[in-house]
């Protein structure tokens, strides 16, 4: 057996759920320094590929699968460079382990940040197999080549399977990264192909295991009553009746929590029972009174009015070109508008769930999590144990959308497993998910644009206000961070002589989190709507208005204009803001939809375009407005996401983004009274249903640019394209979402 | 004891009669293909067949299935070879997959009562099943592809 990195290797095999004689390749890549890694340099050991003697190739997927197809996408990159046969590939879900680099599956980063790494892992393993064959045959390395799961000696035709070579290969030193050769695009057999997802059969037969599906011997099911208002702890508890419910085994008070809550559990009372139903029934019998919280006065309707007023006053300028106010004063024509959007919640079909076992000072957790390392860190901190005593398994996720980046529900399971001495599954109900989430921020925006005497829009003031995600973690932030302002607002890509980008104050009163595309949701809606308003006011076709504002082909850089632009964590040299790519997707969507073709009365197209997560997406939406009723008739999406690994999954993400965008624009609203969320389930937080869903097409722009984000960038242009279509069809301009406040949907 | 037929086998359960079938299936029988999504018959993730008709198991007390026949996704076919399951794979319908068992069960009940549904019939039968990932266009295409292949209405 190989002596290669014994400790790592054992842990690796354990983590991969395989035992016996599997051999590790690509275990060490000297010189591979992940600049994107969240934390440490220990991830110079990266462990992704193992090969069994029978030729089975195990590839670790270290990112969470929540419907984006990543358990297929990343391994298909490895398999391609490895020259493996996809039919002999087994995908293994990685445990929480910082040596993989970041496992935080959000920010539309999995392919964007790991495409090259996966190629390196595949190429490294392939090179080791080739070297092993060359050694065995006593021939120069240059005479052998891997193909079709075998290594071939070209002059003699000798060949050996990957399985036969695996042991020898694993004993070799890993090749230097700079010595690796990579396939050319023309030779790709998997990258760029529509491979079906590896979990297909399990999903359609009901065998797929999600967080809610965990079952263990002697396991208790927990349902937790949490404080309705953030910042309120328990005043008194009477659990006598709850304990009488058949099946209820234990009642446990959750730890108190004060603001900021961060990723910790919320205060509450857990009812543990022999099945989920009994736990839920017992919970209903709890008699709890809650302490007062300073947030018990929060009223979202009043707060919305406050934000709407604040954005109409000058705020803190964070990006500036020329003199926007002088430009407006001298303008021959001006236009202003104010937009708003309520709080939103994720509502993945699978509510959060986590199972934990606590034994001898160690905890093992199974969670539908987007961020297993965050669970490791948070649980270690909360339980007061070392991080290496926390093992986190990642199940499939029944949707995530940002909710499952948060460790709170896994922390609950760990606390209860320790307190009860039994395995515990914490089951969040739909009501829990809607009422105790990490909400997309309520927001307001204001715009004023000025037209100069040449008829050109040359001056622009824009302001935004929304409570910051930072508040969840520090309890003090009272305006958006630079990172949040970077999401579709401070990166405004328009060619303007005078520009003032400003923020206004907004305090936190709920756990604010990130929901699919984050601040781009409201910024995309507001900017995309305002452009259409300008087009209408200046009597220009929307496509022409967009082209004029986007201006000449160029790379936009907000930094010299005073803004510390985060660019989704990527270098602006590699991923610039490219107006040419914005215009290309705009034109493609407009052409495919035929937005300038005359429509029947009451029907019209609307369009919008937005860059986010370093990808470019335009959406065209056609609606019919009849009296007080709107129906979405058809949608087209044009997307430029750079290099694409699995085009079908990218299209699926764009289809999903259009539907996600329609849900929030048409019907999405979380309202708050006396500090408590008013909605509770799908009857009052409706999502798009099949009869509301229009036919839709996705058009991908072929690109050799580095991979951009895919999961989120389809969402931001949807709401504006829809509102613009409604205006064009009916003359009614909707500036305050959701649309069902104005029209029947 | 409450006796009923589950995926063609006779079973008996000893539980509170008001416990919804969903939790009997998931927690007691270990059949986790039937999913919890809302608990109030709003989302369809828990859809099973009761004597061949699609029902939401999250609001159906187990006492109501006494003496009747329940089919879950695990009993729909031997190895995922129901025409709809094949169509689901061909059309690459699932994203996260959590709602898909419920979607397939609703669609299967539709096709057994209406082998050639039009768009309106599909909408009517499927509007109780929410998919947050947004797979509706592919669900519709998959159902239509099975309907188009049907000869004489037999599944």
CA dist., res. A392 & res. A364, Å (int): 6
Calpha distance A672→A680 (Å, rounded): 12
**Number of domains composing chain B:** 2
Looking at the complex, report in whole angstroms how far the Cα of residue B49 sits from the nearest Cα belonging to chain A: 15
DSSP state of A610: E
Q: What is the pLDDT of residue B151?
A: 57
Q: Which of A372, A397, A427 is the last residue of a domain?
A: A427
Asked whether residue B66 falls in the same domain as residue B110, the answer is no
Of the three residues B76, B92, B117, the one that is the final residue of a domain is B76
Nearest CB to A277 within list B23, B42, B96: B23
Asked, for residue A522, whether it belongs to a domain, the answer is yes
Tell whether B15 and B64 lie within a shared domain. Answer: yes
| Tens digit of each residue's pLDDT (9 = 90 or more) over B64-114 | 999 999 999 999 999 999 999 999 999 999 999 999 999 999 999 999 999
Residue A213 has pLDDT above 50, yes or no: yes
Residue A196 covered by a domain: yes
Q: Are A653 and A613 in contact (CB under 8 A)?
A: no
Q: In what order do the strands lie in the sheet with A57-61?
A: A23-25, A49-51, A57-61, A89-93
Residues of B in contact with A347 (CB under 8 A): 132
Residue A30's pLDDT is what?
A: 31
- Taking contacts as CB-CB distances below 8 angstroms, the residues of chain A near B74 are 205-206
Residue A535 and residue A601 share a domain? yes
Does residue B99 sit in the same domain as residue B72? no
pLDDT at A442 over 90: yes
Other beta carbons within 10 angstroms of residue A710's beta carbon come to 32
Same domain, A540 and A597: yes
Residues 6+ apart with CB under 8 A from A557: A565, A572, A576, A577
Contact status, residue A396 vs residue A197, Cβ threshold 8 Å: no
Give per-residue pLDDT as tens, A392-432.
999 999 999 999 999 999 999 999 999 999 999 999 999 99
CA-CA distances (angstroms) from residue A517 to A36, A171, A657, A688, A709? 20, 45, 10, 18, 10
Same domain, A199 and A232: no
- Residue B155 falls within a domain, yes or no? no
Q: Is residue A318 part of a domain?
A: yes
Gap between the Cα atoms of A394 and A354, Å rounded:
10
Could you list the residue range(s) of the whole structural domain that residue A329 is in? 311-345+438-741
Domain membership of residue B154 (yes or no) is no
Tokens of A682: 């799908």
Do B114 and B53 share a structural domain? no
Q: Which of B27, B89, B92 sits opposite A275 (nearest CB)?
A: B27
Q: Where are the alpha helices (DSSP H) in A597-715?
A: 647-667
Cross-chain Cβ contact A215/B32 below 8 Å = yes
Q: For A577-662, where are the E strands, in sequence order?
A: 577-578, 603-612, 615-626, 629-640
For testing the chain A interface, which of B38, B47, B120, B123 should be mutated: the one with the most A CBs within 10 Å?
B38
Residues A330 and A362 placed together within one structural domain of the fold: no
pLDDT given at position A360: 95
Does the pLDDT of residue A191 top 60, yes or no? yes
Question: What per-residue confidence (pLDDT) applies to B154?
Answer: 46
Compare B68 and A175 and report the one with higher pLDDT: B68
Do residues B91 and B41 share a domain?
Answer: no
Domain that holds residue B39: 2-76
Report CB contact under 8 Å: B27, A277: yes
For B22-40, what is the mean pLDDT? 98
Collapsed DSSP state (helix, strand, coil) of residue B6: strand
Q: Is A229 in contact with A676 (CB distance < 8 Å)?
A: yes
Measured from the Cβ of residue A79, the count of other Cβ atoms closer than 10 Å reads 25
User: Do B105 and B63 lie in a common domain?
Assistant: no
Choose among B27, B101, B137: nearest Cβ to A696: B137
Q: Does the beta carbon of B17 lie under 8 angstroms from any beta carbon of chain A? A: no
CATH number for the domain that contains residue B116: 1.10.150.120
C-alpha to C-alpha distance for B150 and B153, rounded to whole angstroms: 6
Pair A38, A98: CB distance under 8 Å: yes
Rounded to two decimals, the ipTM of the complex is 0.98
A342 contacts A462 by C-beta, under 8 angstroms: no
pLDDT of residue A513: 97
Nearest to A42 by CA among A54, A33, A52, A55: A33
pLDDT classification of B155: cutoffs 50, 70, 90:
very low
**Same domain for B106 and B70?**
no
Which of residues A25 and A133 earns the better pLDDT score?
A133
> What are the tokens at B143?
């159902």
Q: Which residues contact A454 (CB under 8 A, 6 or more apart)?
A: none
The number of folded domains in chain A is 3
C-alpha B38 chain-centroid distance:
15
Residue A722's alpha-carbon distances to A366, A443, A659, in angstroms, are 40, 19, 12
Q: State whether residue A664 sits within 8 Å of chain B by CB.
A: no
Residue B149: per-residue pLDDT: 87
Peptide bond preceding A260: is omega within 30 degrees of 0, i.e. cis?
yes
Q: What is the pLDDT of residues A590-649, one digit of tens each?
A: 999 999 999 999 999 999 999 999 999 999 999 999 999 999 999 999 999 999 999 999
pLDDT above 60 (res A78):
yes
Asked whether the beta carbons of residue A655 and residue B134 sit closer than 8 angstroms, the reply is: yes
Q: Are B93 and B135 contacting, i.e. CB atoms less than 8 angstroms apart?
A: yes
Measured in residues, chain A has a length of: 745
Domain boundary among the residues B61, B76, B91 is at B76
Coil, strand or helix: which one is A384? coil
Is-cis flag, bond preceding A738, omega within 30?
yes
Q: Phi-psi category of A263—alpha, beta or left, where left has phi over 0 and alpha has psi -120 to 50?
A: alpha
**How many whole angstroms separate alpha carbon A156 and alpha carbon A158?**
5
Q: Do B130 and A349 touch (CB under 8 A)?
A: yes
Which SS3 state, helix, strand or coil, does residue A150 take?
Answer: strand
CB A212 within 8 A of CB A368: yes
Which one of A65, A72, A193, A205 makes the best mutation probe of the B interface by having the most chain B beta carbons within 10 Å?
Answer: A205
Same domain for A238 and A195, yes or no, is no
Whether the pLDDT of residue A294 is over 80: the answer is yes
The answer, yes or no, to whether residue A19 has pLDDT greater than 90, is no
How many residues appear in chain B? 155
pLDDT above 60 for A37: no
Contacts of B140 in chain A (CB under 8 A): 690
| Angstrom distance (rounded) from CA A121 to CA A1 | 22
Residue A38: inside a domain: yes
- CB contacts of A217 in chain B (<8 Å) are none
A212–B36 C-beta distance less than 8 A: yes
The CA-based angle A406-A411-A415, given to 5 degrees, is: 170
Looking at the DSSP bridge assignments, the partners of residue A606 are: A621
CA dist A421 and A438 (Å) reads: 29
Point out the residue among B23, B33, B98 whose CB comes nearest to the CB of A398.
B98
The answer, yes or no, to whether residue A227 has pLDDT greater than 90, is yes
Do B6 and B68 lie in a common domain? Answer: yes
Neighbours of A202 (CB within 10 A): 17
A147 and A224, same domain (yes or no): no
**Domain presence at residue B26:** yes
Q: How many CB pairs under 8 A join A and B?
A: 182
Question: Is B134 at the interface with chain A, CB within 8 A?
Answer: yes
Angle (nearest 5°) at CA A89 between A83 and A95: 115
Same domain, A498 and A562: yes
The fraction of chain A above a pLDDT of 70, given in percent, is 94
Q: What is the CATH number of the domain that holds A513?
A: 3.30.365.10
pLDDT higher than 90, residue A18 = no
Q: Are B66 and B33 part of one and the same domain? A: yes
CA end-to-end distance (rounded Å), chain A: 65
Residues B92 and B112 in one domain: yes
Residue B87 and residue B65 share a domain:
no
- Quick check: is B116 in a domain? yes
pLDDT tens profile A103-123 = 999 999 999 999 999 999 999
Domain termination residue (choose one: A405, A427, A449): A427
Please indicate, yes or no, whether residues A479 and A596 belong to a single structural domain of this protein: yes
User: Quick check: B150 pLDDT over 80?
Assistant: no
Is some CB atom of chain A closer than 8 A to the CB atom of B28? yes
Whichever domain contains B71, its CATH number is: 3.10.20.30
pLDDT exceeds cutoff 70 at A90: yes
pLDDT band at A172 (very low <50, low <70, confident <90, very high): confident
Last residue of a domain, one of A407, A427, A447: A427
Contact list in A for residue B42 (CB cut-off 8 A) is 430, 681-683
Say whether residue B16 is in contact with chain A using an 8 A CB cutoff: yes
């Amino acid at each position: 057996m190989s002596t290669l990195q014994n400790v790592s290797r054992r842990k690796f095999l354990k983590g991969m759920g395989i035992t016996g004689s599997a051999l590790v390749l690509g275990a060490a890549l000297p010189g591979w320094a992940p600049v994107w890694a969240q934390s440490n340099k220990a991830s110079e050991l990266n462990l992704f590929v193992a090969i069994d003697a029978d030729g089975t190739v195990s590839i670790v997927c270290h990112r969470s699968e929540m419907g984006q197809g990543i358990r297929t996408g990343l391994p298909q990159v490895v398999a391609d460079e490895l020259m493996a046969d996809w039919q002999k590939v087994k995908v293994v879900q990685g445990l929480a382990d910082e040596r993989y680099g970041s496992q935080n599956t959000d920010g539309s980063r999995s392919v964007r940040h790991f495409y090259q790494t996966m190629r390196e892992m595949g190429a490294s393993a392939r090179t080791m197999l080739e070297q092993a064959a060359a050694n065995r045959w006593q021939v120069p390395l240059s005479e052998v080549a891997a193909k079709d799961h075998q290594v071939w000696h070209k002059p003699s035709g000798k060949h050996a399977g990957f399985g036969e070579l695996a042991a020898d290969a694993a004993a070799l030193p890993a090749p230097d990264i700079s010595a690796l050769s990579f396939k050319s695009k023309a030779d790709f057999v998997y990258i760029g192909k529509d491979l079906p997802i590896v979990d297909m059969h399990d999903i359609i037969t009901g065998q797929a295991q999600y967080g809610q599906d965990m079952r263990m011997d002697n396991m208790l099911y927990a349902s937790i009553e949490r404080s309705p208002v953030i910042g309120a702890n328990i005043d008194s508890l009477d659990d006598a009746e709850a304990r009488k419910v058949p099946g209820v085994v234990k009642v446990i008070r959750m730890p108190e929590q004060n603001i900021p809550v961060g990723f910790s559990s919320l205060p509450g009372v857990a009812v543990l029972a022999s099945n989920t139903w009994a736990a839920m029934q017992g919970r209903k019998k709890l008699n709890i009174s809650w302490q007062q919280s300073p947030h018990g006065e929060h009223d979202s309707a009043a707060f919305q009015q406050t934000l709407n007023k604040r954005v109409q006053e000058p705020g803190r300028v964070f990006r500036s070109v020329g003199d926007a106010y002088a430009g407006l004063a001298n303008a021959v024509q001006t236009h202003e508008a104010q937009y708003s959007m309520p709080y939103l919640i994720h509502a993945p079909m699978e509510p959060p769930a986590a199972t934990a076992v606590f034994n001898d000072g160690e905890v093992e957790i199974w969670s539908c999590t987007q961020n297993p390392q965050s669970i490791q860190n948070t649980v270690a901190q909360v339980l007061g144990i070392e991080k290496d005593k926390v093992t986190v398994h990642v199940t499939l996720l029944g949707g995530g959308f940002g909710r499952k980046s948060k460790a709170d529900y896994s922390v609950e399971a760990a606390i209860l497993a320790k307190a009860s001495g039994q395995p515990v599954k914490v089951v969040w109900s739909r009501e829990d998910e809607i009422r105790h989430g990490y909400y997309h921020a309520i927001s307001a925006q204001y715009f004023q644009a000025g037209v100069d005497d040449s008829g050109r829009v040359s001056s622009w003031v824009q302001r935004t206000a929304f409570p910051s995600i930072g508040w969840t973690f520090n309890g003090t932030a009272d305006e958006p961070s630079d990172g949040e302002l970077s999401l579709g607002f401070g990166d405004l890509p328009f060619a303007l002589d005078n520009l003032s980008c400003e923020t206004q104050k907004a305090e936190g009163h709920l756990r604010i989190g990130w929901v699919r595309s984050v601040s781009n949701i409201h910024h995309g809606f507001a900017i995309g709507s305002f452009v259409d308003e300008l087009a209408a006011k200046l009597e220009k076709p929307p496509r022409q208005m967009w082209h004029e504002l986007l201006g000449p082909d160029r790379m936009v850089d907000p930094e010299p204009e005073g803004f510390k632009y985060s660019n989704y964590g990527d270098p602006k040299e590699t991923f610039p803001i490219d107006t040419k790519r914005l215009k290309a997707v705009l034109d493609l969507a407009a052409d495919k939809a035929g937005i300038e073709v005359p429509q029947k009365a009451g029907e019209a197209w609307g369009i919008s375009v937005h860059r986010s997560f370093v990808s470019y997406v335009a959406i065209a939406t056609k609606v019919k407005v009849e009296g007080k009723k709107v129906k979405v008739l058809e949608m087209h999406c044009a997307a430029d996401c750079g290099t694409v690994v699995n085009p079908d999954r990218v299209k699926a993400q764009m289809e999903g983004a259009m539907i996600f965008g329609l849900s929030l624009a048409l019907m999405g609203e979380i309202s708050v009274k006396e500090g408590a969320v008013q909605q509770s389930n799908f009857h009052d937080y409706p999502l798009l249903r099949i009869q509301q869903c229009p036919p839709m097409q996705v058009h991908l722009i072929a690109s050799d640019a580095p991979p951009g984000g895919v999961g989120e960038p389809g969402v931001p242009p949807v709401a504006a394209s829809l509102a613009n279509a409604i205006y064009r069809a009916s003359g009614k301009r909707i500036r305050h979402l959701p649309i069902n406040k104005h029209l029947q949907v | 004891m409450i006796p009923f037929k589950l995926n063609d086998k006779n079973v008996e359960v000893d539980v509170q009669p008001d416990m919804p079938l969903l939790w009997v299936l998931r927690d007691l029988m270990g059949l986790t293909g039937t999913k919890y999504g809302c608990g109030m018959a709003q989302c369809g993730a828990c859809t099973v067949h009761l004597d061949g008709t699609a029902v939401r198991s999250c609001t159906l007390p187990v006492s109501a299935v006494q003496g009747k026949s329940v089919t879950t996704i695990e009993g729909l076919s031997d190895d995922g070879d129901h025409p709809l399951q094949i169509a689901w794979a061909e059309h690459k319908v699932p994203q996260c997959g959590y709602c898909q068992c419920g979607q397939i069960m609703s669609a299967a009940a539709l096709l057994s009562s209406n082998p050639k549904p039009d768009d309106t019939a599909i909408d009517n039968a499927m509007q109780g099943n929410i998919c947050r990932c947004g797979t509706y266009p592919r669900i519709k295409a998959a159902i239509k592809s099975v309907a188009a292949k049907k000869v004489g209405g037999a599944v």
